[in-house]
Amino acid sequence: MFFINEGTGPLLAPNAFEDAEFERRLEGTRKLMAAQGLDALICFAPENLYYLTNHDTPGYYWYQACVVTHDHKPVNVIRKLESTNTLGRSWQRLVVGYEDIEDPIEATLWLLKELGVDKGRVGYESETFFLTPSQLDRLREGAVRDGVSLVAAPAIVETMRSVKSEPELDYIRQGGKILSEAMKVAFETAGDGVTERAVAAKVNGALIAHGSGYQGLPTFLGTGDAPTLAHHTWSDRVMGKGDWLSYEVSASVERYTCAMFRMGCVGKPSDEFMRMLHACEHALENILSTAKEGVTAGEVFAAGNQAFLDAGYDDGNGRRLGYAVGVSYPPDWGEGHIIDLRRDSDKVLKAGMTFHTTPGLIYYPTGVVNISETFIVQENGTEVVTDYPQGVHIV
């Protein structure tokens, strides 16, 4: 037997935002739902549950959902063990908890009926990591059985998430300050005879000490030719003279991501390293001077890519030169599925969008040179929130 449980008494931990912020998000989501003729929306992504309700847990390896309607506060469907995170530290504090032996899809269908939308048009997030094919099959079968008109409704909450409010931006700015401390420790620790693991221990410790939570992706601290293996983390490899250091680090403040890439070298860098680095720096300059409200993501990409072409580097496979960042949970720290800086994208930048721009040169198995910043789109330009010095850091 399912029922809606409501948390009472003082919160066990404060919410990340004031009530007005959650009300703004809910109102905007409902407007987008109305535009698609939806009576309800079922969300599955942990980022979207957090965005709408402040439900926060790494326990999303079990099914979880949030049902949004036009006349009732959002209600989460959560494994009973994890439902305490809605009851004790969320905005709306409403949850249907299911036991491990119960079918959460049936709990979701029950909730639609309880909220009076089971005969209406119900959208579901159709592009997410967090709904298995089997669960989707059961949801569709149950909808047919109960007379629910179930339709795919991708990117509704993501559209709201794409433009950040000032409270959200403040968390991202805090992340930038944390990254400066962590990157400083990284290059102070690195050197001839030092292991990647030793640097990682110091960097991760600095992130936590200065205010970061766990990130959507681990810290990437590659040396030598190892970074040409995409998303290389750390190992027991010992640094030696001439090694290139490729450090990409993120900080997470109240689940909001800020990221930064910096380069170093054990001893004097080679001429080729410096040529590649200067090309990356020029690409970054072009991106930051082009991005502003009203331009397209494709125009920003073209500006950055032109610097590589001018320096004699072909962009090869046409990979993107950046991606949106905001709320994140593993397995990703980005919002590139919402908007990214890729060739020919006609998505228009808006003030309040936030990007991690990553103009880099990757040549397997030779080496990686990349330099990045996290920036906020403004009406007439950008605000860069990462401020650790660029250039090559020689250790």
167-195 pLDDT tens trace: 999 999 999 999 999 999 999 999 999 99
**Quick check: do 5-161 and 163-394 share a fold?**
no
DSSP 3-state percent helix, strand, coil across the chain (nearest 5): 35, 20, 45
User: What is the reported pTM?
Assistant: 0.96
Q: What are phi and psi of 327, to 5 degrees?
A: -65, 135
Give the residue carrying structure tokens 């399912």. 2
> Is the dihedral angle over the CA atoms 86, 92, 98, 103 positive or is it negative?
negative
Give the per-residue pLDDT at 316. Answer: 54
Q: Return the CATH fold of 163-394.
A: Creatine Amidinohydrolase (3.90.230)
Give the per-residue pLDDT at 315. Answer: 62
Short-list 219, 182, 187, 191, CA closest to 387: 182
One-letter identity of residue 203:
V
Element (H, E) at 96: strand 94-98
Give the per-residue pLDDT at 393. Answer: 98
> What is the tens place of the pLDDT at every residue in 330-361?
999 999 999 999 998 999 999 999 999 999 99
Give the residue carrying structure tokens 């936590």. 208
> Is the dihedral angle over the CA atoms 218, 219, 223, 225 positive or is it negative?
positive
**Residue spans per domain, the chain:** 5-161, 163-394
Task: Please state which CATH number belongs to domain 5-161.
Answer: 3.40.350.10
In the DSSP assignment, the letter for residue 229 is S
Q: How far is CA 116 from the centre of its chain?
A: 34
For the chain, which ranges sit under pLDDT 50?
Answer: none
One-letter identity of residue 241:
K
- Whole-angstrom distance, CA of residue 368 vs CA of residue 348: 30
